[in-house]
Amino acid sequence: MSARIPLDCLGPSALRQVDAFLVAERAQKEMRAEKKAKAPRQSLEDELQAASNRFLSIALPADAWACHIPNGEKRAKATAGKLKAMGVKAGAPDWLIVWRGRAYFIELKAPKGQVSEAQRNTHAALRKSECRIAVCRSLTEIETTLRGWLIPLRATAQGIAS
């Protein structure tokens, strides 16, 4: 067991070190709490992304093409600046599906996830360009959306692990 030393027994240098340690410890606790608070929603959305990849690769017709647009995730400022210079746009939907000369977009959200302002603006611009865009929160919603767009599917969402 360690002995406690009264703070008034410490010199100015030691007090600064203790203060710096306490500030760093507090910052680490806050970062862990923030990470914990964000993790469940992000994890759910990540799981939905992976499940949607499995579903789309099986269910879409052979003459369809699909890709995930990886705009999310935190990035270093330098990387974000580089990507922006290369044409990455905030609010781009998660999935692009091309079928018979037409572009379809799907934005995936966790059950309680919200569409950002940049995403709303992008969705409006895509609709203005006569593209189809939908926000889906499950594989069943993806399937229902694709069938609503009259894309013939080779499989159903039922049985695809999420």
- The pLDDT value recorded for residue 158 is 86
What is the CA 162 to chain-centroid distance, rounded? 16
Domains along the chain with CATH numbers: 42-148 (3.40.1350.10)
CA distance 67 to 61: 14
- The pLDDT value recorded for residue 16 is 72
Global model pTM greater than 0.75? no
- The pLDDT value recorded for residue 11 is 77
The segments of the chain whose pLDDT lies below 50 read: 161-162
- The pLDDT value recorded for residue 159 is 62
- The pLDDT value recorded for residue 92 is 95
